[in-house]
A and B are shown apart, each in its own frame.
Chain A
Amino acid sequence: MTVSISSLPPQIQQRYNAKLLSTPEHNLIHQLFATPVELPDNQGFIDRQSRYDRLDLFEVPLDDGQNNPPPQQLNRVDVDCRVRVYATYIVLTRQVTITNEDPVLNSSVARLGQSLRETQDALQRDNLESGASVINCVGGNNGDIPTEMAISDADDVFTVLQNNSGEYITNIVEAELRFGTSPIGDAYGCMLTTRMIPVLYNMTGFIKKFQYPNISQTLSVEIGGANNVRFFASEQGSVTPNASLLGNDIANCFVAAKEAYKVVWQAGGKARFIYLPPGYNNDPCMLRHTAGCSFYQGQCITNDLWIQNLRSTGI
């Protein structure tokens, strides 16, 4: 009998390479500008924070009789945020873990961790999508409502946040004597889908990150900036399908000032990995492992004036 490569059994032809391939992981952007708050244990599940309203100006001078002016009343606004519990798990039979060459449980830990962080990020995304004020892009020319984002739209949302006394997220990136670079002003942070990249790159006045005079104060998820808005993109950025006037997808681009929204974690409920070996959970014959993760999180908008959903099409 002639032995050739083609007649070798499959097990001989194949070698299992133990070096795993990378798993795609989403950029986590929606917590970037959230104010983190810790809810101590044993103190309920709703975190309340308060803000005192501005007082009126008092421009009328006292009269010569030096009588006391009318008093003002101090007003407080409370903002409540409920913390919820999130958990997931996988079940692996012992048969899998003792027959696989690949350490499956190790991979399960990594994937659970990724799922947990992406879930935390998506929760904040959904919170912003649900509760933020809305501005449609109108500066583009694609004939839809909203239009694709234009520099005038970035300036509009900047103006709204300035009118609302929103504080900047980042400081100016000053000009330097480097060819092909441009300065970036004090800026608010914009969180959006990576599907917006072509729109941004086509936008007059958009400065790509590599055109910043200095990139030492940037993140890998940053795409670039336009006047006073810097853009951070994620594959799981917010998109509302078919929601434009003409039925096209809308990108919800959240532009945040400082302290516009927050994330609340319970002190005793931070991200946790839970492994149970065979024998737990009504498993008398010790046949199954479980690997799970859980976390406690709440998210809310703390000032409706400081977070704007700038809607754009063109994606």
Chain B
Amino acid sequence: MLPFSFIGQWSYTNAATPVAQNIPMTAKPDWVFVKDVTNWGAQNTAANPIYSEWFSANMAQGSYLALGQPSSTGAGVVTYASQGTSGGFTFINQTNPPTFTKVAITAVNGTTFVVSTGTTTGINVGDTVRLINVVGAQQISGPNLYQVTAVSAGVSITLGYAASAASAGLVVANGTTGFYQKVYPGQFLPNTLPVAYITQATQAVVYFFRQNPYTPGELVDFQIPTPYGMTQLSNLTGKSGSGPFSSNPAGAARVLSVTNSATVSSITIDVDTTGFTAFQYPTSAAFAGGASPAVCMPAGSGVVPLNGSATIPASPPGTNLADAFDNRSQYIMNIGLNAVGVANANMIVMAFKADFVNGITNA
């Protein structure tokens, strides 16, 4: 048995504007390194970092050691060393993720969902945050998780999925002071999600505040409290059914199509909501007076529809296995912007864990 066991090797290519990378791993590594195989040793090419690494033994979460190279001529390339305490390597056990302190905000735009704040440290596109006690917009405060779609360093974060719901019809007043807090969401999927907005249409479109886990053919149900309007959509599972592709409400709603783009998270369902009460968020004061969230819950697996059709099943009938209840938690090594490498570089990641340990220690 060697002092270090090889956990695995991964590769990725940075975009023109590099973003943080999440590397799934089967174990918690004790040593991780990332190497730039595009620019390594290339003369006339300044690149920082071309190599970065992290050791579990004496390095904090988010820190890194790095090597960079200046542009040079002649034989060989001289590298220079650096280190930092943020933007490096962060290990995440998704069943027991790290927690973060709350950060003050000064405003939330109820239309664009731009959240003004002086501190955006550690926030990246794709992260999820919750809003806490936003004055004037308490209905969007609390357990709801919002996905970040843009970050303006030290100025604001944008919750683009919520903004798309606002474009569709979600009405929320502007908020003022409050807090945001970064949160890692659970990975037991499919999961219950707060609903941002539901259209009144022959095939209703349901909007969410972050990317959704639902798949075409999956059955979903809703619990819509009275302050949100469209209560007719609640508890469909308990309502009498008369066939998988007949008029609804007839059992749980079938997902016909799914959108999970960079700023839009929605599902189209086979429920005609044109005659239903309009969906609306309660006002800030009404929510603070006592309300439960409007939620969409996974309710089962159904026949897969043909290209989003509400009436024609796929032929041969498709069986959806992607909607099985599943624990998709992983160990993740997040490689932050100070370690992820430079633009357009091909990067190699290798991870190792120490085996030379006894399973007994004294307190």
The residue on B at minimum CB distance from A129 is: B186
- Judged by a CB distance under 8 angstroms, whether A247 is at the interface is yes
Interface size on B, residues (CB 8 A): 60
Within 8 A of A (CB), among B114-144: 130, 132-133, 138, 141-143
Question: Across the interface, do B300 and A77 meet the contact criterion of CB distance under 8 Å?
Answer: yes
State the majority secondary structure of interface residues on B: loop
Query: Are B1 and A130 in contact (CB-based, < 8 A)?
Result: no
Chain A CB within 8 A of B10 CB: no
State which of B46-54, B263-271, B283-291 sits at the interface with chain A: B283-291
A-B contact count (CB 8 A): 183
Bound Cα distance A302, B290 (Å): 29
Q: Are B359 and A91 in contact (CB under 8 A)?
A: yes
B350 within 8 A of A: no
Across the interface, A241 reaches (CB within 8 A) one of B95, B99, B142, B359, namely B99
Nearest Cβ distance between residue B236 and chain A, in whole angstroms? 9
B242, A80: Cβ atoms closer than 8 Å: no
B142 and A243: CB pair below 8 A?
Answer: yes
CA distance A163 to B238 in the complex (A): 9
Which one, A57, A82, A247, contacts B324 given CB within 8 A?
A82
Q: Could you tell me how many residues of chain A have their Cβ less than 8 Å away from some Cβ of chain B? A: 67
Taking a contact as CB atoms under 8 Å apart, the answer to whether A75 and B324 are in contact is: no
CB <8 Å contact, A245 and B191: no
Q: Given A72-B242, A91-B359, A301-B298, is A247 in contact with B102 using a C-beta cutoff of 8 Å?
A: yes
- Pick from B141, B190, B292, B323 the residue with the most CB of A within 10 Å: B292
Complex contact A132–B325 (CB within 8 A): no
Decide: A243 and B130 in contact? CB cutoff 8 A.
yes
Encode B1-37 as 1/0 by CB contact (under 8 A) with A. 1100000000000000000000000000000000000
> A126 and B292 in contact (CB under 8 A), knowing A90-B359, A303-B237, A305-B235?
no
Q: How far is the CA of A96 from the CA of B358 in the complex (A)?
A: 8
Q: How far is the CA of A309 from the CA of B138 in the complex (A)?
A: 21
Contacts of A256 in B (CB 8 A): none
- Interchain residue pairs with CB less than 8 A apart (12): A53-B241, A54-B241, A80-B324, A82-B326, A84-B327, A133-B297, A241-B99, A242-B130, A244-B143, A245-B141, A304-B299, A305-B238
- Nearest first, the 5 closest Cβ-Cβ pairs linking A and B are A90-B359, A300-B325, A53-B241, A138-B290, A80-B324
